Amino acid sequence: MDGELRLPRPPGVIRLCWARHQRTADVLVALIYALPEGIARIVTYVDGSIPPAFNTLALLLGAVTAVALYVRRSRPIPALVVSLAVTSLFLWSSSSFGGIALVIALYSVAVHDSVRASWIGLGAAAVTLTLSGIVTVDMFEDVWTNDVLSALILCLFAVLIGINVGNRVRYIGALVDRAGQLARERDQQAQLAAASERSRIAREMHDIVAHSLSVMIRLADGAEAMVEKDPEASLAAIRNVGSTGRASLADMRRLLGVLRDEESELAERMPQPTLDDLPQLVDSYRGAGLPVSLTVSGVPPTGQGAQVTIYRAVQEALTNALRYARQPSQVHVVLDCSDSVTLTVTDDGEAGPRPESVGSGRGLIGMAERAALYGGTVESGPGSNGGWRVRMTMPEAGEDS
């Protein structure tokens, strides 16, 4: 899939195999120490150069060290402690391979833990091996006094190499984590954009359906009432029903076309209404029998988003007036763009409780969401002189460009 986070393959067949089969690699590392140590114990047991009790103890401690090296990835510090203890205990024995375990353990701390821990481990190894060497020199005359120095030099090289490899591993891990985070953020942004688009489409669909059906129902009722008294007017109303329905159907087809083709760059976008379409919108409600007047003052905003917001707000308010206003004699639509944008829609319907809502309840919610994009608010309620009043303010509408 195109959205997957694809990482390059690690270079080198050996490195790739080592990364894929970590448990097998851990076993091999443990055997690198365990096999020579076991062979050395067998040899010293046969030639009798070391007492059997010491050989048995060394064999047991060697097994413990091999297990510690096996788990060095997940527990590098315990592996270092065990390796350092075994190396110190058997520093006197030239046949012991504890130094190999200590080198591997220090390298593992630098790679799998931290740089600081590796330097602390090297310091602890230097102090412990030095003290152990002093003690063993006093106890055994044939000890190789340069073993401590040789072991510390190997440990230093192991730490330096481990720090280099560990820093690279941590750096690559940080890059991979960052890439994964960016990929997740990208997917989240895409989901948010899709949710926002669905919300916009839901508002547009509500506006189209609510407006068109309300007008068509009112025209159909008027045509039925005038079919005997004024057949010509009834016929004109029926024709208006057809034209309104066809226009609404075309709008919905274009809107649903966006949903079907949203993954295509050539998807047809829904044409957005502007303030120039307000007179035609008002005329459609007049044709449905609603006595609407439109007054615009000041300089309207030029931004498309602000114009769509105002248009849809007028459409929603007039649709509600057409549905719920009781025999209004006048419906005023006043758009004041002097300082900030203020839209007021009032009707003088008869006093009394408004009829029960037959809508989805999304109209005023969508209007408030649109206005909030421009720092605005929407208020609705009974007017001071009866009827109903809807008022929307958008202080930041003029900033849309």
Distances (CA, A) of 11 to 7, 15, 19: 12, 7, 11
Residues sharing a CB contact under 8 Å with residue 334, sequence separation 6 or more, in sequence order: 295, 297, 343, 344, 345, 346
Same domain assignment for residues 180 and 300: no
pLDDT at 9: 62
> Considering the domain boundaries, does residue 232 fall inside one?
no
Angle at the Cα of 362 (from 361 to 366), degrees rounded to 5?
140
Specify if 131 maps to a domain: yes
User: Of the residues 144, 167, 184, which one is the last residue of a structural domain?
Assistant: 184
Residue 385 counted as domain residue = yes
Instruction: Verify that 34 and 172 share a domain, yes or no.
Output: yes
Return the pLDDT at 8.
62
Last residue of a domain, one of 184, 210, 239: 184
pLDDT at 266: 36
**Is residue 159 domain-shared with residue 279, that is, in the same domain?**
no
Count of domains forming the chain: 2
Q: Per the structure block, which two tokens stand in for 127?
A: 């102090």
Question: Same structural domain for residues 175 and 284?
Answer: no
Whether 380 is covered by a domain: the verdict is yes
**CB 122 within 8 Å of CB 106:** yes
Put residue 379 in one of left, alpha, beta given phi > 0 → left and psi -120 to 50 → alpha: beta
d(CA 102, CA 150): 12
Question: In this predicted structure, what is the pLDDT of residue 11?
Answer: 60
The CATH number of the domain holding residue 338 is 3.30.565.10
Whether 199 is in a domain gets the answer: no
Average pLDDT by stretches of 10, the chain with 401 residues: 56 68 81 79 71 74 84 87 81 63 88 88 84 60 60 86 88 84 81 70 67 75 75 76 73 62 44 83 83 90 85 87 84 89 88 52 75 87 84 78 44
Domain termination residue (choose one: 165, 184, 203): 184
Residue at 243 is within a domain = no
pLDDT score, position 345: 93
Q: How far is CA 202 from CA 23, 175, 198, in A?
A: 55, 40, 6
- Regarding whether 169 and 303 lie in a shared domain, the answer is no
Residue-level pLDDT at 48: 67
CB 350 within 8 A of CB 342: no
Domain housing 174: 13-184
